[in-house]
Amino acid sequence: MNDVASQSGGSEVLFQRFGRQAPAGTVLFREGDSGEEMYVIQSGRVQITVTVRGIERMLDELGPGEFFGEMAILNARPRSATATVIEEAQLLVVGAKTLEAMIRGNTEIAVRMVKKLAERLDEADRVIENLMLRDLASRVVHHLQGLAETAGVAATEGGVRIQTTPSEVSQAILVPLETVGDVFARLVKANLLKPEAGGAFVIPDPAAMGQFLEFLGMKARFERPLT
Ligand code: CMP
């Protein structure tokens, strides 16, 4: 969406017309609000959160070039999440009519939005899959597998390096920290996970981790008492 700026005569002109500066801590809108505008981040960072059973859960953290708040205007529904500025931000505020004109006039913008929405759908599918797993250990391992696939970096010594901590995993999939810690310890002991300095882990053999997940599934299935 950065292209919005360049193709409409320069970002400064655009910022003067549609710009908004917001300090860290600004709540731009809350889940459930009605909304007639979307935002494009020029600088700074914005956190997207939802509240599930009274607990605030982070869906995403967005930075320059990314957009949010498009859903309420595209489907005429209340805001699906809360948007909070976490690092002072310069934002372009785009109304429904302008968004429609932008999409009609610039296929590049439309394609980028569709790609972003597809990414979110993919992520939502992953969350649903995770919630459908029977046991908590499987949910932890499945989440690590997902991180390796979507954000993992090939490690020089082989395997995939992921950047996370037990507490991040606990928050992401709403599994108690103690359980996540136990599963991590078990994975480390089985050489399926190697801790590194700075909140990183290497999965030396992702295929072996996949087999372990299958094993956990079998265990959960066959350990149920026979009735
Ligand atoms: P809207 O529903 O208008 O307001 C909340 C915004 O948060 C929403 O539009 C999207 O832009 C954004 N949003 C909703 N769900 C997610 C998600 N799962 N990941 C990232 N952003 C999201």
Give the model confidence (pLDDT) of 191-206 as tens digits: 999 999 888 999 999 9
pLDDT of residue 28: 98
> pTM to 2 decimals?
0.76
Q: For position 8, what pLDDT does the model report? A: 43
Q: How far is CA 175 from CA 28, 86, 139, 213, in A?
A: 29, 25, 8, 17
pLDDT number for residue 4? 45
> Residue 44 has what pLDDT?
97
DSSP state of 34: -
Q: How many CB atoms lie under 10 A from the CB of residue 108?
A: 11
What's the 190 CA to ligand 1 centre distance in angstroms?
38
| Residue 186, amino acid | R
Best of 50, 60, 123 to mutate for ligand 1, by most ligand atoms within 8 A of CB? 60
The per-residue pLDDT for 6 is 42
pLDDT score of 198: 83
Q: Specify whether the CB–CB gap between 61 and 44 falls below 8 A.
A: no
Query: Is there an atom of ligand 1 within 6 Å of 208 CB?
Result: no
**pLDDT at residue number 3:** 40
Are 209 and 149 spatial neighbours (Cβ–Cβ below 8 Å)?
Answer: no
Nearest to 66 by CA among 117, 18, 103: 117
Query: Which domains, ranges and CATH numbers included, belong to the chain?
Result: 2-130 (2.60.120.10), 134-223 (1.10.10.10)
β-pair partners for 40? 67, 92
CA 47 / ligand 1 centre spacing (Å):
10
- φ/ψ of residue 61, rounded to 5: -125, 125
pLDDT of residue 226: 60
Question: Amino acid letter at 160?
Answer: V
State the Cα–Cα distance between residues 27 and 2, nearest whole angstrom: 23
Segments of the chain scoring below 50 in pLDDT: 1-9
